[in-house]
Structure 1
C-alpha cells in the first residue's frame, strides 16, 4: 500500500468523486453524476473554507477513495475543537483492501494535528457493514441522529 497518495481533491477529480458517491443504493437515489454543476459549486465553496478538507486517495494515478473532514469549534467540552468525517467512499474494486481504514487513520491523524479533542462521524442507519467497520477502528455508537430536509436549501 506504499504507493497510495492521500491528497487534497482537485476540481478535475469531481467526476471520480461523484461516481463513488453515487455507487451504492443510497447514493444512487440522491446523486446525479451526469450533471456536475452543483458539485462544482459545492467544491468551490469547500475549497474557500479553511475548516474543510476534501481529500482523495490515489493509486497509480487513479482516484479510488475520498472523504471530507470538517473542523468545528465549539463551547462544549471546555471549548474543544472537534472534527467530523463525512462522505467516506471507496471505489468498488478497492473495497476490502484496507483503503478505508487508511483514509480514516489519515483523518484521525489530521484531526489530532489540528488540535481536535474529538472525531465524530455519522453513518446511515442502513449501512450496518459500515457501522462494524467504524467500530473496528475504535469509534463508538453514542448518539441518535436526526435530519430535516429543507425544500429551499440556502
Structure 2
C-alpha cells in the first residue's frame, strides 16, 4: 500500500475534490458543473477561515481523498471546542484499502492538537456502509440530526 499524504487542499486540487463529491449518489446530482465559480468562491472562503480546513489526501501525486474539518466554539462543556468532520470521500477505485481510516485518524489528531473536547460528524441515514465504517473505528451513534432546507443552491 502506498503512503497517503494528507495536506491542506490547494486550488489546483479542486477538480479532483469535486470529482469525488460528484461520485456520490446521496443525494443524486448534487455536484454538477466543476466550472461553476461558486465552488472556487467556497474554496476561497474555507481557505481564509482559520477554523476551517479542507484537506486533500494524495498517493503518488493523485488526489484520492478529501474531507472538511471545522473547529466550532461552544458554551456547552465549559466553553469547549468541537471538531466537525464533513464531506469525507475516498476515490471509488481505492475504497476498502484503509485510506478512509487514515484520513479520519488524521482529522481526529488535528482535533486533539486544537484541544477539542470531542469530534463529531454526520452521515446520511442511507449510508449504512459508512455507519459500519465509523462504528469499526470506535465512533458511537449518539444523536438524531435534522435539516431544514431553506432554498435551492443558486
TM-score between both structures, scaled by the size of structure 2: 0.94
SS of 1:25's partner is coil
SS of 2:29's partner is helix
Contact 2:13/2:63, CA 8 A, preserved across alignment: yes
Rounded to whole Å, the distance in 2 between the matches of 1:133 and 1:140 is 11
Rounded to whole Å, the distance in 2 between the matches of 1:27 and 1:13 is 23
**1:51-83 C-alpha deviation (Å, 9 max, x unpaired):** 000001010100000000000010001111100
1:1-154 equivalences in 2 (<5 Å): 1=1, 3-151=3-151
Contact 1:71/1:83, CA 8 A, preserved across alignment: yes
* CA 95–33 in structure 1, closer or farther in 2 if over 3 Å, else same: farther
- Once the two structures are TM-superposed, the CA of residue 33 in structure 1 deviates from its matched residue by 3.7
* CA 119–145 in structure 1, closer or farther in 2 if over 3 Å, else same: same
Any gaps of 5 or more consecutive residues in structure 2? Answer: none
Rounded to whole Å, the distance in 1 between the matches of 2:7 and 2:27 is 23
Contact 1:21/1:27, CA 8 A, preserved across alignment: no
- Once the two structures are TM-superposed, the CA of residue 37 in structure 1 deviates from its matched residue by 1.4
- Once the two structures are TM-superposed, the CA of residue 27 in structure 1 deviates from its matched residue by 4.9
SS of 1:26's partner is coil
Question: How many residues end up aligned between the 2 structures?
Answer: 154
What is the root-mean-square deviation in Å for CA atoms of aligned residues?
Answer: 1.6
SS of 2:68's partner is strand
TM-score between both structures, scaled by the size of structure 1: 0.94
* CA 152–133 in structure 1, closer or farther in 2 if over 3 Å, else same: closer
Contact 1:56/1:67, CA 8 A, preserved across alignment: yes
